Chains A and B, each alone.
Chain A
Amino acid sequence: MIKRKILQIDNLSKSFPGVNALTNIDFDLFAGEIHCLVGENGAGKSTFIKILSGALVPDKGNIILFNKKHSQLTPLDAIKIGIQTVYQESKLAHSLSVAENVFLGNEILNRYKFIDLKKTYKKTKEILDSLKIKINPQKMISDLSIADKQIIGIVKALSREVKILILDEVTASLSASETERFLNLTKEITKKGVGIIFISHHLEEVFKIGDRITIFKDGKKINTHTRKEISHDVLVNEMIGRSADLFYKKEVLKQIKKGVNTLDVVNYSRKNIVENINFTIKSGEIFGIGGMVGSGRTELARLLFGVDRKSSGKLLFNGKDITPDSPKKAIKQKICLVTEDRQNTGLLLNRSIIENISIVNINLFKGIFINLIKESKKVRNLVEKLKIITTNIKQEVINLSGGNQQKIVLAKWLYSNCDIFIFDEPTKGIDIGAKTEIYKVLSDLIKQDKIIIMISSDMPELISISDRIGIMRKGSMVKILKKDEISEEKILSNSIGVK
């Protein structure tokens, strides 16, 4: 079967003051094809998409869409031609129903020019049915899971005339089974002849659904491969420009004494959310927590850190009761929580790097004043140690890349010199380079006899980093896998409750 070429890009370039964001990019897309785009953060993927969706004007190059040549697009052009983009965080109106969101800005009206809700529901149901999605069109968006929200974001795009669908990191916050569902949906869509440009940091996904894979690095196209002709190793090599293992190999730390410190989590419960959690961690190991999104992992972390009220539970550090009932007290007991959602719960986005890193630690200064000289010295050390890329530590963190932002969150907690570290999805949405840095930090912490708990939805990461893995399902810890028991199948089967 000969496929029709719907998009061809020749020699596309775009620069910003001081940066060549894209240099001479060639790219093409066929109808019904999934063309994956991979590259580290800052490789130029976002700029490329923005040009395609009309948000940015290229410096030079041609965009040939359905045999028609364009030197640039406006957002309206893009929509008219049938290019739709779905981003990592879908922009939905939470207080409206699924159907109302799908047709937002494109409302179905009755003859009096009022919104025809009945028809809106019916049409939405038709679209959902055609994609085999089981979501009630009358449900409020705020009642949906993150995965369902993402799916509705796509359905919304599909409710319009769409020929080219761009999916930008849409699976970043989904658990394994949800991702699976999502990828199936994507394949379903291609059957309608839609061409899909799929961007993801998760290479397994790319290998699962991509027809072709294009690698960007530093604003240049490195290569385009068909999926069959390329291996994981080659792909990673081309992405980062050096050879590396897809699975992070933890340093073998033979000299580490296990169990200098011990943490006992005893009977932690919160009504209807977390039930009777018990486990013990010794320093020198990383205790991973797996399970689906919504299985109570994040809720458990919040309970341990004293954020939410618990109905029962005790935390013993080397036998001593340190149970906190507020983050402030948790910090006093040298517990820290690196939260999942750095933008909403981790960072003060409009404040400087200094203020972000030292917010936990200003308490270390005696009296009411902050010693600015001491503070900036300490912050500079951390910025250097974690290789945070910045020209000025007074820069607002909102201007930094995701990886650098995550390092700021880490720096904040490293500064405070905790005994117990709880990481909730520490590498979500960041590139391989930044991930490696964060894994190095973890290794360092092990050497310092810290207690480490890490929640992760990234299966390869969870498997390669953890010494033991506790699996959460429906608020309970259903299984703790020992090192030699850990496998992808075991984690999955325990997470979803299949034996």
Chain B
Amino acid sequence: MNKIKLNKKIFTDQIFILAILILIMGVVVTIFNPAFLSIKNILNVLQQISVFSIVAAGATLVMISGNFDISVGSMIGLATTTMAMLISRGNNVYLSIIFGLLICLFCGFLNGVIIAKTRTPSFIITLALLSLYHGISLVITRGMTHSLGGKFSTLGRGLSFGIIPNPIIIALGVYIFLYILLRYTKFGRRIYAIGNNEEAAYLSGVNIDNTKILNFALNGLLVGIASIVLLSRLGAALPSTGTGMELRAIAAVVVGGVSLSGGKGSALGTFLGVVLMGLISNVLNLINISAYYQEIVIGIIIIVAVVISNIENLKRK
């Protein structure tokens, strides 16, 4: 009896399904285009998703606690343009990126404080803040693109160990951090608890407000790291840099098994969700589908992936 149960559990496990999906996709594409399996292409895929994956790591934290932060895209816009302007005007590069990091940390903290202290739904508050942050970056840039003029490109474009792009290393670091945070820390336990049943968590002595604020601030920190890597890679920024990334991150996180109502999810799941989304883009490029059609295909594939990974809930009903 135990054995039957165990097998069933594995087959309905989201991470298992994702791994299989990724494997199948890899095999099929390799048959059509052997270039897919080359180390160069794999590193390419990982490099493509690295910034996105860092944003998704933050979204994982926020969504496990049962919240959303959809102001992330405009936080990226605000941070990248501010850093670009500071650097292009000849300020110290390191001080400039630390300033960018602090902007995101502060934005995240502000999101958290408003949401926790006013007990309002995070979705609508961060929607308002999305507009606010975007507006600020429009005002300070006057809507123009600001280039770094070739400075500060090593982080985003350079290689470590002569082969691995730096952004991959950073993203990997972020995921190790996320894994440890969720699995081994008190804070990780608390955000799962809040996402699962806030009332029960409160009655068990969890300080709901502080945990939420810290959680949003951590998300801000991760967004800051993503902003820095993105800016270094792009070499320029405008207020719309990062627009829409929050929604794609939410999609990837849900594909990776985080419940929309919170309380569930893991670092590995999100990572696989991000990889799957990255693979889809890469495959569409490899088989030469135009960028316009790609958007349509990605939309459809996200639906399919979410439905498949949600199969357990479907059965329950």
Contact = CB atoms under 8 A, between A and B. Distances in A.
Q: Do A and B assemble together?
A: yes
Contact of A370 (B189, B200, B204, B259): B189
B110 to A, nearest CB: 24
Interface of A: 17-19, 305, 307, 326-328, 330-332, 337, 339, 344-351, 355, 358-360, 362-363, 365, 368-370, 372, 391, 412
Given A347-B197, A350-B264, A369-B186, 19 more contacts: A17-B1, A19-B1, A326-B207, A327-B204, A328-B205, A330-B205, A332-B205, A344-B200, A348-B192, A348-B196, A348-B200, A350-B263, A351-B193, A351-B263, A358-B189, A359-B190, A359-B193, A363-B205, A412-B204
A21 to B, nearest CB: 13
A42 to B, nearest CB: 15
B300 to A, nearest CB: 29
B50 to A, nearest CB: 27
B184 A370 contact: yes
Contacts of A355: 189, 192-193
Interface of B, helix, strand, loop or mixed by DSSP: helix
B203 interface: yes
B64 to A, nearest CB: 11
B201 interface: yes
Contacts, number: 82
Given A328-B205, A351-B263, A359-B193, A368 B186 contact: yes
B211 to A, nearest CB: 11
Interface string B168-200: 000000000000000011110110110011011
B86 to A, nearest CB: 33
B156 to A, nearest CB: 31
Contacts of A305: 203
A391 B4 CA distance: 13
Please tell me the size bucket of the interface on B: 20 to 34
A349 B197 contact: yes
A464 to B, nearest CB: 28
Given A348-B197, A363-B186, A368-B187, A17 B203 contact: no
B11 interface: no
B187 A345 contact: no
B185 A370 contact: yes
A327 B203 contact: yes
Residue among B1, B189, B199, B201 with the highest chain A CB neighbour number at 10 A:
B189
Interface of B: 1-2, 4-5, 184-187, 189-190, 192-193, 196-197, 199-207, 259, 263-264
B192 A18 contact: no
Given A337-B203, A355-B193, A391 B186 contact: no
B259 to A, nearest CB: 8
Contacts of B206: 328, 359
B317 to A, nearest CB: 12
A360 B264 contact: no
A365 B206 CA distance: 15
B278 to A, nearest CB: 29
Contacts of B189: 355, 358-359, 362, 370
Contacts of A339: 203
B1 A327 contact: no
Nearest to A329: B205
A326 B196 CA distance: 20
Contact of B203 (A345, A358, A368): A345
A163 to B, nearest CB: 29
B266 to A, nearest CB: 13
B10 to A, nearest CB: 14
A416 to B, nearest CB: 9
B205 to A, nearest CB: 4
A362 B186 contact: yes
Nearest to A368: B185
A456 to B, nearest CB: 19
B196 A18 contact: no
